[in-house]
Amino acid sequence: MPSANTVRRSIGLLGGSFNPPHEGHREISLTAMKRLVLDAVWWLVTPANPLKDPAQYAPLDERLKLARKKADHPHIIVSDFERRQNLQFTVDTIERLQLLNPNINFVWIMGADSLANFHEWKDWRRIAEQIPIAIFNRPGIGDKALASPAATELALFRLAPNKASALAQAEPPAWVYFADIDNPSSSTAIRKAQRNSTETPET
């Protein structure tokens, strides 16, 4: 029987700006824990996204505070790992986490909108070779995401959703797409609504 310190945990990683966090983040985290048989999900709140305008970000500490409030679950851990490790790119974050946690099976979690532009991420092929990936549908994005360059290139490594419980132990590249998740929550839409509510009406 293996000793306690050799038992491998399975952890989902949900990276993003969480600007702001919303119910969609929480829903896919809870669904991932159930379907992928994960012990926890870590929300990696990034200081900045290289593909987005830094001017649109709320301060990191504010986003961390809001994320902890929204998570509201003992197995969703909100972290500023990238700030503490001075990391910017997902490929480097995954490598560092795996180096520091050799007894954890990590799964990268993302929405279909991220799959649609995954080919624009730094070293995206290396990411796919580093870690299994679970992708959750977003309204109106599914067809575009599944026709994207990354999805097309990785098609042979896609698992059926009924095999998702084995994803954390799978040798990457390996990924699964959950088409039945369709949460409309959007950080972009929330920010737009907040801006509109604070604008002074014309007289």
Express each pLDDT in 156-173 by its tens digit: 999 999 999 999 999 999
**Considering only CA atoms, which of 153, 159, 152 is closest in space to residue 174?**
159
CATH number at residue 79: 3.40.50.620
* 144 inside domain: yes
Q: Could you tell me if residue 45 is inside a domain?
A: yes
* Average pLDDT along the chain: 88
Range of 144's domain? Answer: 9-198
Q: Which residue has the higher pLDDT, 1 or 127?
A: 127
| Spatial contact of 20 and 63, defined as CB atoms under 8 Å apart | yes
User: What was the pLDDT predicted at 190?
Assistant: 43
The CA distance from 51 to 120, in Å, is 9
Q: Which residues of 122-158 are buried (b: 16+ CB within 10 A; e: fewer)?
A: eebeebbebbbbbbbbbeebbeebbebebbeebeebb
* Average confidence (pLDDT) over 37-42: 98
CB 155 within 8 A of CB 115: no
Q: pTM of the predicted model, to two decimals? A: 0.86
Q: Does residue 4 lie within any of the structural domains? A: no
pLDDT at residue 53 above 80? no
Residue 2 within any structural domain of the chain: no
- Is there a domain that residue 194 lies in? yes
Residue 130 is assigned to a structural domain of this protein:
yes
- Residue 22 · residue 66 · CB < 8 Å: no
Q: Report if residue 203 sits inside a domain.
A: no
Segment 181-200, tens digit of pLDDT: 876 554 444 434 444 455 54
Domain count for the chain, please give it.
Answer: 1
The tokens of 93 are what? 């974050």
Which DSSP symbol is given to 94?
H
pLDDT, one tens digit per residue, over 3-19 is 445 678 999 999 999 99
Length of the chain: 203
Q: Is pLDDT at 56 greater than 80 in this prediction? A: no
pLDDT tens, 77-114?
A: 999 999 999 999 999 999 999 999 999 999 999 999 99
Q: For residues 64 and 77, what is the distance between their CA atoms, to the nearest angstrom?
A: 11
Backbone angles phi, psi at 105, to 5 degrees: -90, 115
Residue 40 lies in a domain: yes
